[in-house]
Amino acid sequence: MNTKELSLHHLVRAPKKQSEKTPLLIMLHGYGSDENDLFSFANDLPDELFVISVKAPYAMQPYGNAWYAIHWDNEEGKFSDDEQAKESREKIVAFIDEAIQVYNLDADNVTLLGFSQGSILSYSVALSYPEKVKNIIALSGYVNPGILKADFQKKDFSHLAFYCSHGSVDQVIPVEWARKTKPFLDELNIENTYSEFPVGHGVAPQNFSEVQTWLKKRL
């Protein structure tokens, strides 16, 4: 399907099943990837969804895109550019509003599905602007408190639900980081589920099957 000119480049899968209020699912890819990556399983998602896969705004060389820079040579290990991440957070929030208006979608039924860096941004958007989203599928990521709005604890999270998962042998983002997610969300009284699978930095078939089941119940 041809995509309209919005602030971020994206791919679209129109719903296979029409409804009066069309729910939206936005895919946010990982570091060094692009909008085609997660979009490859868009057709395996519930038929009623309007699926948008977004391309991150920062081009990398020789190819791929990122939501923010990672300085791999930092003396303390990986160091994320939190200011750039906050800029991307704001770009995603603006894009959600644009997509709802342009494609005539249900503003009260928005799901974010992020992988790795896209997952980290999904946490940031949902916890900073909970009024913009309903469901969050966070695959192979973690909560970075440094890119949340300063007053995020005062927000109303009562309608949110998170599905979080991680590979137990992830060689890119340590599973220990992901394991902090559930206590963090529990502390905020946010509905959430956390699963681990015996894989590295990727999504196992049984992981995706669990995502499908969880999402169908939440739409």
Domain boundaries in the chain? Answer: 10-218
Q: What percent of the chain has pLDDT over 90?
A: 89
Residue 5: pLDDT band with limits 50, 70, 90: confident
| DSSP-based helix, strand, coil % in the chain, nearest 5 | 35, 20, 45
pLDDT value of residue 79: 73
Q: Is 74 exposed, middle or buried (0-12, 13-18, 19+ CB in 10 A)?
A: exposed
Residue 75 has pLDDT above 80, yes or no: no
Using the structure block, give the residue that is written with the tokens 């997660």. 38
Is 184 strand, coil or helix? helix
Specify the fold of 10-218: Rossmann fold (3.40.50)
DSSP state at residue 150: T
Which element (helix H / strand E) includes 56?
none
Residue owning tokens 């589920």: 193
Residue 78 has pLDDT above 80, yes or no: no
Average pLDDT, integer, range 43-52? 96
pTM of the model: 0.94
Q: What is the pLDDT of residue 92?
A: 98
27 forms bridges with which residues in the sheet? 53, 113
Cα–Cα distance measured from residue 14 to residue 160, given in angstroms and rounded to the nearest whole number? 24
Backbone angles phi, psi at 23, to 5 degrees: -75, 150
Q: What sections of the chain are H helices per DSSP?
A: 36-39, 82-103, 117-128, 175-178, 181-187, 205-218
pLDDT at 18: 84
Q: Is the dihedral of CA 210, 15, 33, 181 positive or negative?
A: negative
Q: What is the mean pLDDT of the chain?
A: 94
Q: Are 96 and 110 in contact (CB under 8 A)?
A: yes
